[in-house]
Amino acid sequence: MRFSLAQADVYVPDGRPALDALQQVTHLCIAAHQDDIEIMAHAAICDCLDTPGCSFGGVVVTNGAGSPRQGRFASFTDEQMQETRRQEQRAAAQLGQYGIQIQLAHPSSVVKEPASPGVVGDLSQILLACRPRVLLLHNPADKHDTHIAVLARCLEALRQLPENKRPERVLGCEVWRDLDWLADDAKVALDSGRRPQLALDLLKVFASQVEGGKRYDLATAGRRAANATFHTSHATDRMEGITWAMDLTPLMKPQGPTLEELTIRHIRQLEEDVKSRFRRVGVRS
C-alpha cells in the first residue's frame, strides 16, 4: 500500500505483511483522532477477540496535532505530541490485539476541505483492500467538526466502491455527543460492557490525554454504564455497558437518503416522541 503522505504509519502487531493483515479485517473502525477508536469501538474489539476468524482494524485519519498539553507533556512541541500520540495508538493496537492499525497523518484542516483527494484516495484504498463486514464511523450528530469531516470523507470513499464491495453494515458511533436521544427503535446497542479491564487499560494507554487534563478513561466507562442502566425503565439491565450507534447502512443504497436527510429524520423522531408523550399525559401547549 502506498498512501498519500510519507508520514502515514502502518502497524501490524503480529508482524505479518500489512496487506495480508488488512485483507483479514472483518471489523473496521475509521476515526478522526488517536483514542477515538478505543472510545467508540470497544464492542467490535471484543467481538474480534471473542470470535475465531474475526479481525479488528483501526484507521486514524488525522495527525493528532493541536492537542492540549499539561503535566509532564506541558513542554512538548506539537511535533513531539504528534509522535507521542502515534506511539500511544500503536500501543493500544498491541494491547487490543488489532489485526492492523493505520495512521494516515492528515492535518485536520485538509480533512475538512470538501475536495480532499488524498484523504479520500487513502480511505478508498483501505476499504477496497479489506472489505469489512462491519464498518464503524463517527455519527453525523457528533459536535466535533473534524469528526464530521472524517465521516464525510469516509462516505465519499464508500460511494466510489462498487455496491458489491461495500460493507454489510455501517454504524455511526457516539464520541463527542451521546446518542441516547435517538428513538429507541433507531438505537443500535453495541455491547461495550465486556472485558472492562481491557477497556480501561486501552484508554489509559493514551497518557498524553488522560494525564493531560482529559479523563476519557473515567468518562467513557461512565457513559457506557449509564447507557446500559438508563436504556429502559421497566426492565433489568441486559448489558454491563452500551455504546449507542446510528445505522448508516441506508446511506449505501443507490436511492438512499443523504447524510443530512437521515440525521434530520432522527431529530424529527425525537421531536415527535416528546410531543406524543406530552399528549399522552395531558400536557397542554
Q: For residue 186, what pLDDT is reported?
A: 96
Q: For residue 236, what pLDDT is reported?
A: 62
How many C-beta neighbours within 10 Å does residue 163 have? 9
Q: For residue 69, what pLDDT is reported?
A: 75
pTM: 0.95
Residues of the chain with pLDDT under 50: none
pLDDT digit string, tens, across residues 186-204: 999 999 999 999 999 999 9
